[in-house]
Amino acid sequence: MAKQCADDIAALACEAGIVATEKAAAARAMTATAVRASLIEIAHAPDFITNINKLYRERRWSDGLPVIPPTRERVEQMLTHTRRASQEIVARLAPAFGAATVECIAINAVLAGCDPDYLPVLIAAVEAVARPEFNLQSIQSTTNPAAVWIIVNGPIARRLGVNGNYNCLGEGAWANATIGRALRLILRNAGGALPGEMDRATQGQPGKYTFCCAENEEGNPWEPLHVERGYARDRSTVTVVGAEGTMNMTTLAKSADDLLRVIAGTLSHPPSNEYVHGGEPWLVLSPEHAGILHDAGLTKTEVKRRLWEQSKMKAGSMAAEDLGRTQASRTAELGTIGPDTWLTIAHRPDEISIIVAGGPGTHSVYIPCFGNTRSATREVVCEATPQGMAL
């Protein structure tokens, strides 16, 4: 891998004088080659499934849960749901920068138990985590418990049964569970994020098994996330978030002012990467709480602005060492930072992100981000080969 990196760097350095079209052709040629998955012959004995799972545990190809054997037939069936070549490299994933080919994505989708028509969602998710602003290198190798949270928007969420209603962040929905798990396996097997090696998470979190939901667009009184990000309502998207975990907020508040006050109070906490670096906090509002804010005449933009103002925290509430980290990170933004400096949770109000999801009830969820990451959204391209079923 190191030799290939050195060769690639040398090739790029030598391309300085090549015209743009030639550069693009060279880049395509460089990324077109990838090692195909090898076949392993295992007899179909009564203990076939047991042997497969034992092999995957020994080679650290699984996440510790049982896997579906990625037979040639299963992988080929998965590949019928894209027109992209099986050896096309969708992305090289940090920290190992392994090639996430279309075939690699399909194999890990089979391992996780995905239905074949989930493949376009996973391809879009892989493209999204490779975006520079997402900072996958840090998310994969940090001691922080960061996990990748997938949000699916648009018609494909309903078509595939991605849950955005009751228990949308919990168990019970096949699409949520397997799509989230498949991306984690890809990050492990192509990205090389093995616990205790490149993945240095101190404790980790359950979201590193699977973390996926849809937005409850029917229960959202505002525009859904993908429309807010510039996509037409009838398009489908995947958004990836570098999430630290979840914090339940249960409140019977009936006024918008009260509701915003208690949510802002939840956002503010001293041992927070978001205040150290200026983060991208996420709120999963229940339809009931979103309705209270909307009925008070508040737009999503106004909700973000008020939360940004009300969640300011004095730098002196941090530990001394964390105040030092904040000074190193945000002095250029905020000027001289002392104990009495008011810190904002994000650089700007619009960096607070809001979706509406879940069923009835007085619960919303605060999902802090890793800090040095920004979410990325990609459109899902729904297509199939002539042998596959088009979505």
Could you read off the pLDDT of 26-64 as tens digits, one per residue? 444 444 456 788 888 877 778 888 999 999 999 999 999
Same-domain status, 81 and 177: yes
Taking the C-alpha atoms of residue 345 and residue 328, their distance in angstroms, rounded to an integer, is 16
Q: pLDDT band for 282, please (50, 70, 90 cuts).
A: very high
Q: What is the pLDDT of residue 28?
A: 42
166/309 same-domain check? no
28 vs 136, residue with greater confidence: 136
pLDDT tens track for 283-334: 999 999 999 999 999 999 999 999 999 999 999 999 999 999 999 999 999 9
The structural domain count of the chain equals: 2
Beta strand segments in the chain, E:
89-93, 98-101, 147-153, 212-214, 237-243, 247-250, 282-285, 313-314, 342-343, 353-356, 363-367, 376-379
Q: What is the pTM of this model?
A: 0.89
User: Are residues 205 and 311 both part of a single domain?
Assistant: no
* Judgement on whether residues 158 and 307 belong to the same structural domain of the protein: no
**Average pLDDT over every residue of 340-350:** 98
Has residue 2 been placed in a domain?
Answer: no
Q: Are residues 164 and 195 in the same domain?
A: yes
Give residue 44's pLDDT. 74
Would residue 328 count as lying in a domain? yes
According to the model, what pLDDT value does residue 40 have? Answer: 84
Q: Is residue 19 part of a domain?
A: no
Would residue 39 count as lying in a domain? no
For residue 3, tell me if it sits in a domain.
no
Q: Which residues pair with 187 in a beta bridge?
A: none
Same structural domain, 223 and 249:
no
Residue 138's domain spans which residues? Answer: 47-243+375-391
324 domain residue, yes or no: yes
Does 168 lie in the same domain as 222? Answer: yes
Quick one: 65 and 208 in the same domain?
yes
Same domain, 292 and 278: yes
Provide the residue count of the chain.
Answer: 391
The yes-or-no verdict on residue 390 having pLDDT over 70 is no
In this structure, the answer to whether residues 305 and 380 fall within a common structural domain is: no
Name the region of 204 (left: φ>0; alpha: ψ -120 to 50; beta: rest): left
DSSP state of 389: P
301 and 267, same structural domain?
yes
pLDDT tens by residue, 189-242? 999 999 999 999 999 999 999 999 999 999 999 999 999 999 999 999 999 999
53-69 in b/e form (b: 16+ CB < 10 A) is beebeeeebbbeeebbb
The pLDDT value recorded for residue 313 is: 98
pLDDT at 385: 52
Task: Supply the pLDDT for residue 270.
Answer: 96
Residues 80 and 137 in one domain: yes
In a domain, 31, yes or no: no
Residue 34 has a pLDDT of 64
Q: Mean pLDDT across the stretch 253-271?
A: 97
Indicate if the pLDDT at residue 272 is higher than 50.
yes
**Residue 91 falls inside a structural domain:** yes
